[in-house]
Structure 1
């Protein structure tokens, strides 16, 4: 089934970027004349996404005023958190606005130039895009079987060669239905705690990836796109 909806998590405060951006949501960090989020939405347009739910919280009006309810021909819907719900709570709330049985979920502060259509669920509740990396210690690594099922999440440590979570997921709309969860929780922790019961799978990509969470990488992305 063609998936044409996506949730983008846009509630980040950008604490580690305070030295370069101030008083705006992290996905609105300027890159030339556009916010970083515009690059994410252009990527979704290229992938034939029709509806995008932006999960927003901190100063969401800045995002709403820039993108409105239609951007590049895509319907833009806002899932507004009165109080921050964490990435997990944000997804639970945003899923109520998804019309179909599955949706892509992306982080609003990372860019991973993959082919979304290569992610598929089959009998799993979630499929995550992994990025192959060498010589890294900033990210935890993920281990998978040959058939794509995830076998473990590993702690952050120096890794010569491995796979990291690229921050793009395909999830079933009912992924949370059998869990008793608080209103505020971390999706990443939920995923790591329950990957076996979710029959979680992964697809490895070697495409361009960047996380603008730290000033060095934000500045690098700016240099490449200005």
Structure 2
């Protein structure tokens, strides 16, 4: 199977690092995010990836060209930002298979892609997480205080999709899949999810995310 990595963003919240290197090359334990993602995808038998790039795309190409990645890599270059939907639509022209995976370029996880693959047009979902203390109250008084990272039975988009090739025709040339096709498919009952509990998942959006993920990443992606 093939996988698309959405790696065209500017990564503004990781400045000043991303003033010099694109977000996919931001290191975690001295290894760039995109190399961790490639290692993760290889574990599930992905033999070809398409990287959607824009900002500093030549830097990403040059870096991967000198590495022995062990799989075929193609690039779908955006001259201007297309959004996630537009990026997938453009990259999808290189896909002949019936279905494919998509992963956000800043997502580090151990979600089982084999389970996700069992459903068509499916979003991997994880329990909603919070880094804040959870209060339980009764009549204006706090009855319980607990530090939680997961809120039971509330699910969030993990940024990993298994999509049928047929979806490409419905994607916008410019715009986000999460704001266009997904809501439309959901209304029509054409969108599925696979729920994952007790998985490791990080979205690298801040220096704190980098720090926390670096401590865990060798356990997450083996």
Structures share fold, TM-score greater than 0.5: yes
Residue of structure 2 in register with 1:185 after alignment: 175
Q: Once the two structures are superposed, what CA deviation does each residue of 1:123-175 show, in whole Å capped at 9, x if it has no partner? A: x5x101101235468xxxxxxxxxxxxxxxxxxxxx94311101110001110
Q: Once the two structures are superposed, what CA deviation does each residue of 1:198-221 show, in whole Å capped at 9, x if it has no partner? A: 610100112110000122112211
RMSD: 2.3
Q: Once the two structures are superposed, what CA deviation does each residue of 1:23-69 show, in whole Å capped at 9, x if it has no partner? A: 32212111232211111100001111001000111100111111129
Residue of structure 1 in register with 2:108 after alignment: 111
Structure 2 CA distance, aligned partners of 1:220 and 1:211?
A: 11
Residue of structure 1 in register with 2:162 after alignment: 170
Q: For residues 189 and 89 of structure 1, do their structure 2 counterparts lie closer, same or farther at Cα, with a shift above 3 Å needed?
A: same
Q: Is the 8 Å Cα contact of residues 88 and 168 (structure 2) preserved in structure 1?
A: no
Name the structure with the higher helix share: 2
1:6 aligns with 2:3: yes
Q: For residues 69 and 102 of structure 1, do their structure 2 counterparts lie closer, same or farther at Cα, with a shift above 3 Å needed?
A: farther
Structure 2 CA distance, aligned partners of 1:131 and 1:10?
A: 22
Q: Is the 8 Å Cα contact of residues 8 and 81 (structure 2) preserved in structure 1?
A: yes
Q: Which runs of 5+ in 2 are unaligned?
A: 133-149
1:37 aligns with 2:57: no
Structure 2 CA distance, aligned partners of 1:134 and 1:213?
A: 15
Q: Is the 8 Å Cα contact of residues 6 and 51 (structure 1) preserved in structure 2?
A: yes
Q: For residues 48 and 165 of structure 1, do their structure 2 counterparts lie closer, same or farther at Cα, with a shift above 3 Å needed?
A: same
- Determine helix, strand or coil for the equivalent of 2:3: strand
